[in-house]
Structures are given as structure tokens and as C-alpha cells.
Amino acid sequence: MAHSLLVMKFGGTNMGDANAIRHSASLAARSIREGVRVVVVVSAMAGVTNSLLRLADAAQSGDIAAANDEIAAMRTRHFTAAQELGAAPDSGPVREIRELHETLRQAIYGVYLLRELTPRSRDLIVAFGERLSAPLMSLALTGQGVRAHHLSGGQAGIVTDAHFGNARPLPGSYERVADRLGGLLSAGVTPVVAGFMGETESGAITTLGRGGTDFTATIVGKALHAGEVWAWKDVDGVMSADPRVVKDARNIEVLSYGEVMELAYFGAKVLHPLAVTPLRESGIPLRVKSAADPDFPGTLVQEDARDDAAHPVKAVTAIRGVSIINVTGAGALGVPEVVASLFDAIARENITLLMVSQSSSMSNVSLAVQSVYAARTLAALRASVTGELQVDEQPGVAVLAIVGAGMRGQKGVAARLFGALAQNDVNILMISQGSSELNISVAVEDAQVEGATRAVHAAFGLGEPVAAD
Ligand code: ADP
Ligand code: ASP
Ligand code: MG
């Protein structure tokens, strides 16, 4: 089906070097030549976001030499790519890349002098990755005869709250994006938007959380009423498991918005957990496609899960680096106010609970959280409970989840999951099933999670081809 407008997002690998960028640009150019209007949204070059986070930490701890070395390496990498994409030594894009590195160097020097890295300054620093890759995509498109113009997230109209590191778009973004990008599109210009970043109302740079370029693309898609959003990746699509862990993981043809959110939430790094929310509100489909195999359909994400009874489970995924926080104390937990105060304490800290379970004897409540938040969770709980209750942490845990709309109301799915785990001597620490019945999750020891993922993948036959209907 031909679309009049597509948003195309290119991930870090697809922006890895001049060749990858040229190939990505050719994928956009191909549709543009067919008469489709395209908005391109780009990630930072592969590895740059991590590098920026590292150098910010180095500056904060006083190691300015290490930070400067890393900036110099980044600068060379971006200059080389620009040159290979045909930029003349003193052309606009080269000057822009030089100026951005100079500003980055100054920001890093500020962090070094102050020995202070606030969430706000970290966002300013980490967003340079996308600000630097956008001009490279513009260059590549120009090289292929496409008129292009690049913009930062803020310039493209993405306004967010001030939740630095994990900002959310404000509703006003949609009109602004439509206005700013619509103008370029009607003038026959292809906008190139720096993903991952936005701006507060007062102009401070924010980021949307790791993997946030997916989110930028879907915000833009909703704003412009795109026919579809295409996320180009280095994998065939969303797969039945992380292909790095399960060798026979297969591409999933169709997933619902709800299924993909569960997958992303439970650790499938392939999409930002909130990426499909703007699309879900507007019914726009998302396609996850392989840049290496552009004619392969990839994964279609839409409202209808197209579940089939023979395959109730579509994927298995895991979150590593989890801790279980146990709250114990005979009797006290039977009092509803006590349990409520525990959850209040966690909510105030803005910590996401991955799993919750309460024993029926009411003497124990277990909470699974990312281990990085364990210390904060312990402190918050200890401050809110009376002496009768004991709070402790069990680190070294992972949460494994099976996802699929088809398991709703189906018997035997849980039995098959537990059977596979038991056969592989995997000890189950916690169990939960959401009321949506889109997933069942279990907490297991982290050391066992990769084996457990492979066993569960095999038990549900996820590596076998799905028969055509
Ligand atoms: P991009 O920069 O294109 O967004 P990411 O590295 O963020 O790329 O996401 C793609 C990666 O996600 C893949 O290379 C793969 O290793 C990982 N991944 C984890 N789980 C899955 C899954 N279920 N399906 C596909 N990829 C997955
Ligand atoms: N570059 C950012 C990250 O690595 C955003 C993205 O790639 O989606 O998290
Ligand atoms: Mg990503």
C-alpha cells in the first residue's frame, strides 16, 4: 500500500559510519522518489550515547584528560563521516560539527570545574549525540539528490516536562511539530530530526530515556498523521527472544500495541517502552524493519494482535539486574494501612515496581525493582515502616516474561512455563500475571536467566515457523 507520508527512524547501527548512513539515506530516498513525503528521525552514531555518558562521569570525577581524549575521538569520527559523505572542509555541516564539539567541550569543562553533574547537565551533554548525527544524515540525503534540513528535537517542536533523563512530551508538542515540519514538507524539503531529545518550555534540553529515538519517531508520526512509522534496525524486526541470547529466535509478523509495550517493558531492548503510546492513540501502525533486508516485511505493530490459539505466546524476554525487596513481619502486614504506606513510600520515590506479591498469610510482601533503585527503595521503606517490620534486599535476580495476547483465557500456558523451568532446575522466586493476561512473569536467579529463556523459548515452539493461515 502506498502512503503519502512516512516517518522513518534510523537506529545507532544504521548511523554507525558513513557507509551505514549512506545506506539509510538511500532507504528514505527510495520512498521519496516514489512520491512519498518522508520525515527522517535519527539516533546518535552507534556507541556515542554511551561514550557521552562516560565522559560526563569522567569530568565529574576530575578526570578531564580522559574526557577530552574521548571528545577528540568523537570529533574525528564525526569529521571522517562528514568528509566521506562529501562535505567540503569548511562547509556548513563541517562548521556545525566543529561548533557542537566546542560547545560540548565547554559543557564538560563546566562539569569538571564544578565536580557536579546534575540530571539537567547530563541531558544537555548526552543529547549531543543526536545533534551531531542529524547533519550527517542531511549530508547523505543531499548527496542522493534529496533536499533535506536537519533540526534538533526542540526545533522540531518537541516540548517536554522537566523530568530530565526520562522526559515526557507535553500535549502541545503535536501541534508544534505539525506546524514546523509541515512547513518544510510542503516546501518539498525532507526534515531530519535529532531523536531522543526535546526541550522544556523554558528551553532546557531534555532526553526521553534510553532508546528514546523510537519515541521521537512516533510523536512525529502522530503529529503529522503519518500513514505508518518505520523503525529501521539491525534486526529483522521484533523477534521471539533477544537474538543475542536465543540463536533460533524468529521474527514476529504481527504484534499489538499492547503486546509490544509489555515486551519492551519486560526488557526487550528493541523498542522504547512508551514508543507505541502516541500511535495507539491515533491507530497509526508501526513497522520494525531490517535495513539489511529492506524488502522483508519485518514486524507490523497495530491494534489487532491477530492471535491464534495454537500460538498463545509470541515472545519471551527478560530484565537483568533486578533485586527483590522483602518486607516481613508477622501480623503487621495484615493491616491495610501498613501495606498502603509501603506503596506510598515507593510512589513518592518514583520507582517502578517490576513485580509485586503478597503472601496469603499476610506476613510477607515482596517487590521486584531494578537493582540500581534498590538502595533508594530500602531507604524509603525503612523510613516508612515501624520497628515490627523487617526490610531486606535479595540482589542477583532477573525477571523473565512470556508475552502474547493469545494466552488470555487459555489453560495450560502457565503449566507449560513452569514445566520448562522445572525441567531445567530453574528456581522460581516470584510469580505474577497481570490482569490484562498479556504476560506471565517470573523472577529467577540472574545466573540462570539465559538458560531459562532458551528453555522457555523451546517449550513454546517459538523457534519453529508459524503455519500460514
Ligand atoms: P536501534 O538503535 O536501532 O534502536 P537497539 O540496539 O536499540 O537498536 O535495538 C535493537 C537490538 O535490540 C537488537 O540488536 C537486539 O540485540 C536487541 N533485542 C533485544 N530483544 C529483542 C527482540 N525481542 N527482538 C529484536 N531485537 C531484540
Ligand atoms: N542514542 C540514544 C540511546 O542510545 C537514543 C536511541 O538510540 O534511541 O539510548
Ligand atoms: Mg534503540
Instruction: Report the separation in Å between the CA atom of 12 and the middle of ligand 3, taken as the mean of its atom positions.
Output: 7
Q: Which of 274, 241, 244, 284 is nearest to 455 (CA)?
A: 241
Instruction: Report the separation in Å between the CA atom of 279 and the middle of ligand 2, taken as the mean of its atom positions.
Output: 20
The DSSP secondary structure of 35-103, one letter per residue, reads T-EEEEEEPPSTTHHHHHHHHHHHHHTT-HHHHHHHHHHHHHHHHHHHHHTT--TTSHHHHHHHHHHHH
**pLDDT attached to residue 135:** 98
- CA of 133, nearest ligand number: 2
**pLDDT attached to residue 458:** 97
Residues 6+ apart with CB under 8 A from 265: 273
Q: What phi and psi, each to the nearest 5 degrees, are found at residue 86?
A: 95, 10
Q: Are 21 and 136 in contact (CB under 8 A)?
A: yes
Q: Tell the residue nearest (CA) to atom 5 of ligand 2.
A: 211
Residue finishing a domain among 186, 212, 234: 234
3-state helix, strand, coil in the chain (%, to 5): 40, 20, 35
For the CA of 46, the closest atom of ligand 1 is: 2
Q: Choose which residue among 42, 125, 158, 213 to substitute to test ligand 2 binding: the one with the highest number of ligand atoms within 8 A of its C-beta.
A: 213
The answer to whether residues 102 and 212 belong to one domain is yes
Q: How far apart are CA 153 and CA 195, in angstroms?
A: 6
Q: How far apart are CA 150 and CA 166, in angstroms?
A: 23
Count CA atoms within 13 Å of residue 376 on its CB side. Answer: 14
Residue finishing a domain among 188, 203, 234: 234
Instruction: Report the separation in Å between the CA atom of 91 and the middle of ligand 1, taken as the mean of its atom positions.
Output: 35
Q: What phi and psi, each to the nearest 5 degrees, are found at residue 408?
A: -55, 120
Whether 333 is covered by a domain: the verdict is yes
Q: How far apart are CA 408 and CA 434, in angstroms?
A: 11
Whether 374 is covered by a domain: the verdict is yes
Q: Which of 326, 325, 369 is nearest to 351 (CA)?
A: 369
Number of structural domains found in the chain: 2
Instruction: Report the separation in Å between the CA atom of 12 and the middle of ligand 2, taken as the mean of its atom positions.
Output: 7
Beta bridge partners of 402: 316, 440
The answer to whether residues 15 and 119 belong to one domain is yes
- CA of 208, nearest ligand number: 2
Neighbours of 187 (CB within 10 A): 9
The answer to whether residues 225 and 104 belong to one domain is yes
**pLDDT attached to residue 270:** 93
What's the CATH code of the domain at 35?
3.40.1160.10
Q: Are 170 and 216 in contact (CB under 8 A)?
A: no
Q: What are the CA-CA distances from residue 439 to residues 232, 273, 411, 469 (Å)? A: 26, 15, 14, 24
Whether 276 is covered by a domain: the verdict is no
**pLDDT attached to residue 311:** 84
Q: Which of 373, 371, 366 is nearest to 430 (CA)?
A: 366
The DSSP secondary structure of 240-262, one letter per residue, reads SS-TTT-TT--B-SEEEHHHHHH
Instruction: Report the separation in Å between the CA atom of 272 and the middle of ligand 3, taken as the mean of its atom positions.
Output: 7
Q: Are 104 and 159 in contact (CB under 8 A)?
A: no
Instruction: Report the separation in Å between the CA atom of 271 and the middle of ligand 3, taken as the mean of its atom positions.
Output: 6
- Angle between helix 18-33 and 128-143 (nearest 10): 60
Residue finishing a domain among 234, 249, 273: 234
* Ligand 1, CB cutoff 6 Å, lining residues: 11-13, 43, 211, 233-235, 238-239, 241-244, 268-270, 315, 317
Q: Is 53 in the pocket of ligand 2 (CB under 6 A)?
A: no
Tally DSSP H helices, then E strands, for the chain: 14, 16
Q: Is 49 in the pocket of ligand 2 (CB under 6 A)?
A: yes
Sign of CA dihedral 413, 415, 420, 426: positive
Instruction: Report the separation in Å between the CA atom of 356 and the middle of ligand 1, taken as the mean of its atom positions.
Output: 27
The answer to whether residues 217 and 354 belong to one domain is no
What's the CATH code of the domain at 438?
3.30.2130.10
pLDDT mean by block of 10 residues, the chain; 469 residues = 87 98 98 97 98 98 97 97 96 96 98 98 98 98 98 98 97 98 97 98 97 98 98 96 97 96 94 96 96 96 87 95 92 77 89 86 87 95 83 97 91 94 96 85 97 98 77
Whether 435 is covered by a domain: the verdict is yes
Determine the 3-state secondary structure of 355 from DSSP: strand
Instruction: Report the separation in Å between the CA atom of 415 and the middle of ligand 3, taken as the mean of its atom positions.
Output: 33
Determine the 3-state secondary structure of 351 from DSSP: coil
Q: Is 212 in the pocket of ligand 2 (CB under 6 A)?
A: yes
Where do we find the cell 516546501? 187
**b/e sequence 417-450, b meaning 16+ C-beta within 10 Å:** bbebbeeeebeebbebbeeebbbbbbbbebebbb
Whether 279 is covered by a domain: the verdict is no
For the CA of 263, the closest atom of ligand 1 is: 23
- Angle between helix 119-126 and 128-143 (nearest 10): 20
The answer to whether residues 331 and 218 belong to one domain is no
Q: Tell the residue nearest (CA) to atom 3 of ligand 1.
A: 11
For the CA of 13, the closest atom of ligand 1 is: 2
For the CA of 43, the closest atom of ligand 2 is: 7
Q: What domain range includes position 412?
A: 315-459
Q: Are 149 and 189 in contact (CB under 8 A)?
A: yes
Q: What are the CA-CA distances from residue 132 to residues 145, 152, 253 (Å)? A: 21, 10, 34
Q: How far apart are CA 251 and CA 292, in angstroms?
A: 14
Whether 386 is covered by a domain: the verdict is yes
Q: Tell the residue nearest (CA) to atom 6 of ligand 2.
A: 211
Q: How far apart are CA 214 and CA 270, in angstroms?
A: 9
For the CA of 232, the closest atom of ligand 1 is: 3
- CA of 270, nearest ligand number: 1
Instruction: Report the separation in Å between the CA atom of 72 and the middle of ligand 3, taken as the mean of its atom positions.
Output: 25
Beta bridge partners of 399: 319, 443
- CA of 216, nearest ligand number: 2
For the CA of 239, the closest atom of ligand 1 is: 24
Instruction: Report the separation in Å between the CA atom of 43 and the middle of ligand 1, taken as the mean of its atom positions.
Output: 13
Q: Choose which residue among 24, 265, 270, 287 to substitute to test ligand 1 binding: the one with the highest number of ligand atoms within 8 A of its C-beta.
A: 270
Whether 79 is covered by a domain: the verdict is yes
Q: Tell the residue nearest (CA) to atom 6 of ligand 1.
A: 270
For the CA of 272, the closest atom of ligand 2 is: 8
Whether 291 is covered by a domain: the verdict is no
Determine the 3-state secondary structure of 198 from DSSP: strand
Beta bridge partners of 432: 441
- CA of 14, nearest ligand number: 1
